Structure 1
Amino acid sequence: MSLWETVLCTFLACLLATLLGGLHQIGAFRKRKPKEPPLDKGFLPWLGHGLSFMRTTEEFLERMRKKHGDILLGGNYMRFLVDPSTYEPLMKVFKQVLGYNKFTSMVARNVFGLHCTESKLHSFKKISDKYLGGKYLPVLNQEMMEKLKSVMLLSQDSGEGKRSWRQEGVLHFTYKTVFQASFLTLFGNEPHKDVDSKENAKENEMTQRGNLSENFEKFDHFFPHMVTGIIDPLNKKETERLKKYFWDILSVEKLYQRDGISNWITELNQQLTEKMRTQFQLLLLWVSQTNIVHATSWILLYLLKYPEVLKAVREEVERVIIIIIIIIIIIIIYIAPVLRETAQEVVAGGPFINVSLDMIKTPLLDSATEETLRLKGSGFIFRTVMQEMDIKMADGKEYTLRKGDDLVLSPFLALQTDPEIHPDPHTFKYDRFVTPDGIKKEFYKNGNKLKYYSMPFGGGTGLCPGRFFAVYEMKMFVFLMLAYFDMELVNAEEEMPTIDIRRHGFGTVKPSHDVQFKHRLRV
């Protein structure tokens, strides 16, 4: 055999080995073992059902559910589980058996260019649990409330015509308001050396934050494409431009010139090298913004669309305001003199007059918030099978999960839109989660009380550490809007927008389009 024939044979052998290895890796030769769930590779070679899954996720999973039941295996070793009876026991499984960091690491790498080790991710979660829950949370909540008030009222502070009606899109208004307030709460504000410079810079800073929120909205639009890596060259170029824009603003050099950076951000940064910090700031910005902005847009849309809901929640807010006023009067009349006699100082924001929603019961607002998250929180829960394990279904069947497979839970399909758990599941019912007596409702499936009946923030060891802060943001936004503004839809007959289907599975879905409303300061 000649030299060139030898080289050619070697090349073809290597090519064949690579091709066969690739086909094996994507599951082309995978066979279903005894006790394993149904295996559906799809019609298209290699891709399986990938295109259908990405294009119409919810419809695809419903179709597969009717075909195979509550558990199936897709072509890329992904098991989709939509049996609600299995969710509670799975949330108790140790991370050594069901790991949760694989998907997190993939998002950090594909979207933000970060390569995080298991130990780093564990450290980040521990710090986040510390500052976004427990004794540190009220401080963050109070700061967020002040920033929300400031941003809301600053946009109205134009002197002439303060009480005139202003028109804009619900999504646009919510995006800019929540984004700016949250950004200031977490990343601080630019310092002003004197009063004159502060006044002169106020308008410029508001414009800059407006540009920041608009660019973030563009960046967030591309998020599903960046996660999957399926993005055309033109859009990829735009995402790179947006990343550089945010990396510049969030650079270590610029960030630490700002005043009022949250302790959460500061301590997280101490875990990173200087090189990683700027990229990590963008990740923190994204996780603190995207889902809560979309969820807050939806609850405002529901309130505007259904006048009876707006009326009921506004009346509750007004009752709470009266209670807060009475508490403050009691403090001023009875508690302040006693403190002065004992040489203690009473200051605004101090422990005795820091009155917030944490201290007041708002059952209708709580229920409306939870109902919004139930309807629009479509995020998947991703787990990796670290050890072979068995799982028992509601119908008594048992299946074996193979080590190395990915397990994907869909609480939206399995729990949040199950008609037995939530009757008329696709209808917004603001009082769904509360009894007429103001007591939180319980939910059942097959006669059994459920611990998990809605999981917009995940569950188990992978439960979102920012869930309390996120819910407080939503409630405080609604509370302040109803306290400060009259508001109504420009076209009361306009239908509620559908969802942007590309976001299904990636947290809270966003409205497919904006809806115009008008608002003005209340007397």
Structure 2
Amino acid sequence: MLTVLLCVCFAVVLVIVLLQATTRRRRPGEPPLERGPLPYLGVALEFSQNPLGFITSRWKKYGDVFTVRLAGDYTTFVLDPHSFTHAIRNSKVLDFRLFSSKIAHRAFGMPIVYGTPRDWVRVDSVALYPQELQGQGLDKVTEVMMGNLLSAMFSATDVQQEWNRGELWAFVYRIMFSASFRTLFGRHKENKDETARLVHSMEEFQKYDKRFPEIISNVPWWLMGQTRKRYEYLKSMVSPAELSQRGLSDFMQMRQEIYTDGELSADEKAAFNFATMWASLSNTVPAAFWTLYHLLKDPVAMDAVRAEVDQLLKETGQTLENVKEGGEMIHVTRQQLNDMKSLGSAINEALRMCSASIIIRVATEDAELALESGSTFRIRKGDRVGLYPGFLHMDPEVYDDPETFKYDRFLEDGQEKTAFYKNGRKLRHYLLPFGHGVSMCPGRFFALNEIKQLVTIVVCYFDMELIDMETPPMDQSRAGLGTLAPLNDCLFRYRFKQGCL
């Protein structure tokens, strides 16, 4: 044991010495450089504690473009929103897919097919999103999702008209996990202990997802307790053998056919399915939580959304008197959801406040990149170019009083507001919670639809009130990975409305 420890210590010292000996120096034409105080990690610890604060402080020090060493990689941040497209549009030099493929391989076990003869499997799989989960293709999915949300909602609550207490994050998570999983992967044909299995899967998924920043940072599995075991369990939940017992959505069924044509192994198929499951939940659930939380905290916002839902019910002849146990449930189409502009604005506002993704491209060669102003900067092969939309989302010049939730911030004359300005000029990109360009989330329309449906159901069937009025802090450990979950839960109370029973 002593010998092993000595070898480990020697290896660590050797790595530190090598890193210090190869310290990077700024070259002509490159942006300001900050290596950070720690070998390899650089500024990673400071960044992870307060990403927005870190980015803001360096912007004040260096300007719109600067380079930092972040967990072993040199990342050049471009903060001028007018330059977002200019900075990353050179797809021949800046690559996204190899970077994302490595993360997906580590986190889900997906084979790296990009740049190989099997890359058509990835291309054809992604091509199904516009067909099945966008536009008219989303109509059928919306109907199925509504039924699954209602089923999950009622199974997660006590059906009574007395006030019940609960924890809002847990409430939203359980409903969204069950409904999303069943919408994509279907119900088990034999339905044996289905609810109990889904609850257990949700608990394992939450624990796995909590370690996600460590997982993609290549922390050894043996240092993460039961994480590897959970990884294997979650893959088994979406393995070909398991899915053969479920009534899959058309989207997932077509994906399985592509995987079979691509001669993927059973384990590779499970890995692709696991990635789909994670993508459908990891960002959608926090966004749904924050939307519902802010609506409950802001009576004016909730009244505006409730008025839209009531108007929809009135126009379609639906009333709560029709909603009885075993009776007719409300029906809302995709187009009707899209027509509720106050609800859409409230969701956009929640996303503006809770999204903290980093849009990453990796340089495949030394290159000179241009900004919108015409100025240029140089990057080296292997460097990353990063856009941090959270800095834009909290810019007081773009969004007045950005720390405050304003449900109608994205409304103008009853329609969606799209005119936001920086330096006196209209922004082409002002809200980027789902990425940008080739890395934009292909399932974003499905995700937004889920959130709209959840809020609509809550407004229709429930009276809800927050008990904890102090807004929980956001979990910054997930900064760079998408929307941020609350660091702690908050109490609320609920009851079914009169006429629902």
Deviation digits for residues 305-335 of structure 1, max 9, x if unmatched? 12221122111211111112289xxxxxxxx
Query: Is the CA contact 2:86–2:372 (under 8 Å) kept in the aligned structure 1?
Result: no
Cα distance in 2 between the residues matched to 1:508 and 1:407: 20
Q: Within the alignment, does 1:295 sit opposite 2:315 as a pair?
A: no
Cα distance in 1 between the residues matched to 2:383 and 2:402: 31
Cα distance in 2 between the residues matched to 1:359 and 1:306: 24
Q: How do 1:179-190 and structure 2 match up within 5 A?
A: 179-190=177-188
Query: What residue number does 1:336 align with?
Result: none
Q: How do 1:82-231 and structure 2 match up within 5 A?
A: 82-90=79-87, 93-118=89-114, 119=119, 120-156=121-157, 162-192=160-190, 204-230=193-219
Query: What residue number does 2:267 align with?
Result: 275
Query: What residue number does 2:78 align with?
Result: 81
Moved more, 380-389 or 509-518: 380-389
Deviation digits for residues 380-425 of structure 1, max 9, x if unmatched? 1011123544344467643123333211110111x21111111111
Give the counterpart letter for 1:257 in structure 2.
Answer: Q
Cα distance in 2 between the residues matched to 1:213 and 1:180: 8
Give the counterpart letter for 1:164 in structure 2.
Answer: E
Look at both structures and tell me which one has the larger radius of gyration over its CA atoms: 1
SS in 1 for 2:495: strand
SS in 1 for 2:174: helix
Cα distance in 1 between the residues matched to 2:200 and 2:304: 36
Query: What residue number does 2:50 align with?
Result: 56
Cα gap change, 1:101/1:285 in structure 2, threshold over 3 Å: closer, same or farther?
Answer: same
Give the counterpart letter for 1:86 in structure 2.
Answer: S
Q: Within the alignment, does 1:511 sit opposite 2:456 as a pair?
A: no
Shift in Å, 1:22: 5.8
The TM-score, its normalising length taken from structure 2, stands at 0.86
Query: What residue number does 1:31 align with?
Result: 25
Moved more, 354-363 or 291-300: 354-363
Cα distance in 1 between the residues matched to 2:79 and 2:213: 22
Cα distance in 1 between the residues matched to 2:301 and 2:127: 38
Cα distance in 2 between the residues matched to 1:156 and 1:509: 25
Query: What residue number does 1:424 align with?
Result: 401
Shift in Å, 1:80: 1.6
Cα gap change, 1:133/1:365 in structure 2, threshold over 3 Å: closer, same or farther?
Answer: same
Deviation digits for residues 217-255 of structure 1, max 9, x if unmatched? 111111111111246845x23111211222332221121
The TM-score, its normalising length taken from structure 1, stands at 0.82
Cα gap change, 1:439/1:294 in structure 2, threshold over 3 Å: closer, same or farther?
Answer: closer
Query: What residue number does 1:319 align with?
Result: 311
Query: Is the CA contact 2:345–2:416 (under 8 Å) kept in the aligned structure 1?
Result: no
Q: Gaps spanning 5+ residues in structure 1: where?
A: 1-14, 193-197, 328-347
Query: What residue number does 1:243 align with?
Result: 231
Query: What residue number does 1:365 align with?
Result: 343
Query: What residue number does 2:66 align with?
Result: 72
Query: What residue number does 1:4 align with?
Result: none
Give the counterpart letter for 1:42 in structure 2.
Answer: G
Counting matched residue pairs gives 464
Cα distance in 2 between the residues matched to 1:442 and 1:238: 48
SS in 2 for 1:237: coil
Shift in Å, 1:32: 2.0
Query: Is the CA contact 1:151–1:177 (under 8 Å) kept in the aligned structure 2?
Result: yes
Query: Is the CA contact 1:101–1:121 (under 8 Å) kept in the aligned structure 2?
Result: no
Query: What residue number does 1:411 align with?
Result: 389
Query: Is the CA contact 1:324–1:355 (under 8 Å) kept in the aligned structure 2?
Result: no
Query: Is the CA contact 1:28–1:46 (under 8 Å) kept in the aligned structure 2?
Result: no
Query: What residue number does 1:45 align with?
Result: 39
Shift in Å, 1:213: 1.5
Shift in Å, 1:111: 1.4
Give the counterpart letter for 2:45 in structure 1.
Answer: L
Query: What residue number does 1:255 align with?
Result: 243
SS in 2 for 1:512: coil
Query: What residue number does 2:5 align with?
Result: none
Cα distance in 2 between the residues matched to 1:418 and 1:286: 30
Shift in Å, 1:175: 0.1
Query: Is the CA contact 2:363–2:381 (under 8 Å) kept in the aligned structure 1?
Result: yes
Q: Within the alignment, does 1:483 sit opposite 2:460 as a pair?
A: yes
Deviation digits for residues 165-198 of structure 1, max 9, x if unmatched? 2211110000000110000001111124xxxxx7
Identity rate, percent:
33
Cα gap change, 1:47/1:209 in structure 2, threshold over 3 Å: closer, same or farther?
Answer: closer
Cα distance in 1 between the residues matched to 2:15 and 2:188: 55
Q: Within the alignment, does 1:452 sit opposite 2:440 as a pair?
A: no
Cα distance in 2 between the residues matched to 1:378 and 1:94: 24
Query: Is the CA contact 2:156–2:171 (under 8 Å) kept in the aligned structure 1?
Result: no
Shift in Å, 1:31: 2.8
Cα gap change, 1:123/1:94 in structure 2, threshold over 3 Å: closer, same or farther?
Answer: farther
Cα distance in 2 between the residues matched to 1:519 and 1:240: 37
Query: Is the CA contact 1:58–1:504 (under 8 Å) kept in the aligned structure 2?
Result: no
Cα distance in 2 between the residues matched to 1:44 and 1:205: 49
Cα distance in 1 between the residues matched to 2:38 and 2:87: 32
SS in 2 for 1:325: coil
Query: Is the CA contact 1:95–1:461 (under 8 Å) kept in the aligned structure 2?
Result: no
Moved more, 102-111 or 178-187: 102-111
Shift in Å, 1:464: 0.7
Give the counterpart letter for 2:397 in structure 1.
Answer: E
Cα gap change, 1:355/1:29 in structure 2, threshold over 3 Å: closer, same or farther?
Answer: closer
Q: Within the alignment, does 1:464 sit opposite 2:441 as a pair?
A: yes
Give the counterpart letter for 1:117 in structure 2.
Answer: V
Cα distance in 2 between the residues matched to 1:496 and 1:244: 36
Cα distance in 1 between the residues matched to 2:299 and 2:363: 48
Give the counterpart letter for 1:136 in structure 2.
Answer: G
Cα gap change, 1:94/1:112 in structure 2, threshold over 3 Å: closer, same or farther?
Answer: same
Deviation digits for residues 20-75 of structure 1, max 9, x if unmatched? 99649xx9343322211112112223432233233433332222222222211123
Cα distance in 2 between the residues matched to 1:322 and 1:28: 70
Query: Is the CA contact 1:412–1:454 (under 8 Å) kept in the aligned structure 2?
Result: no
Cα distance in 2 between the residues matched to 1:437 and 1:55: 39
